[in-house]
Amino acid sequence: MNRSSRLFIVPLAVFSVLAALTAGVFAQDPSPGNIMAEANLLYERGEYAEAAQQYEALIGLGYLDAAVYYNLGNTYLESGDLGRAILNYLRAQELSPRDPDIIANLDLARSRSVDQLQAESDSLVASVSDFGRRWATAGEFGLAALLLWAVVGLAVGALILRPVMRRSAILRSGAAGAFVLMLVSMVVLLSMLYANPYDNTGVVTARTVEVLSGPGTQYREEFALHSGAQVRLVDSRHGWLQVALPGGELQGWLPSHTIEAVGRDGSG
């Protein structure tokens, strides 16, 4: 069984229970549990387009959950829509960066893309941000920094209020270590907030699109991109988006309907 077929075992159980408990109460207004259960059944029957509609409906209701995006990515992967598969795997990865199934299926989808583009960090801040995102979310780093700040505060308070504690090498070393870790956590957190790659990343959803030298069909073609190509969003103008390939050396314009931003509030 390949990873792409290993779907929502936990989400299916949870949402199925919710669906059973609420079926009678919300018979006229399908609950999120009902929608999720129906989407799962449609996927298992191989009705991928219908399943995708249900997952999209769930997201439209505000359920921006890693499992939902992952399941939606799987429906698009199975139906051969690499662009939307990669797009939704990236959205799932932003919410759950350590999930091995998300990572594996994202790598699988990328391996099938025609354009094998390797993302590059163009600054030290972006490199630190990328490093942090491999391990945790910004919220988790924020929580870690807060807890370490509390540890440092307690240790410093003990050293000030209890002079006898100053003789404890373990306490002094622990306070110093917690302080260093707190600083590291805050640096990584600020880098992640400042250089969020999901804010300016777009994924080509058209099968093939010509990238032009300007925002209009009268401009010359620079190069072509294919479904699943991951690019950096640079600018927008009258229904056109300017994109840059990794490294920033190749840039051009393409119609906004051929690409979608990973960030839910982005253009595309």
pLDDT score, position 156 = 77
Give the integer Cα–Cα distance in Å for 251 and 212: 9
Whole-prediction pTM value?
Answer: 0.73
pLDDT tens, per residue, the chain with 268 residues = 444 445 654 454 455 545 555 444 444 456 888 888 899 899 999 999 999 999 999 998 888 889 999 999 999 999 999 999 999 999 999 888 889 999 999 999 999 998 887 666 566 777 776 777 777 777 877 888 888 888 888 877 777 777 666 667 777 787 788 888 888 888 877 876 766 666 788 999 999 999 999 999 999 999 999 999 999 999 999 899 999 988 777 899 999 999 999 986 543 3
Run of H or E including 222: strand 221-226
pLDDT score, position 223 = 92
Q: What six digits make up the tokens of 253? A: 């314009």
Run of H or E including 79: none
221 burial level (CB within 10 Å; 0-12, 13-18, 19+): exposed
Helices (H), 23-137: 32-44, 48-60, 66-78, 82-95, 100-111, 124-133
pLDDT score, position 196 = 65
Rg of the chain over CA atoms, in angstroms? 23
Closest by CA position to 145, among listed 116, 175, 183: 183
pLDDT score, position 122 = 61
pLDDT score, position 192 = 67
Residue 96 phi/psi, 5-degree rounding, is -140, 75
Q: What six digits make up the tokens of 36? A: 């999720």
How wide is the angle at C-alpha 159 spanned by C-alphas 156 and 163, nearest 5°? 165
Cβ atoms of 3 and 73 closer than 8 Å? no
* Sequence-separated (6 or more) residues with CB below 8 Å from residue 159: 165, 166, 171, 172, 175
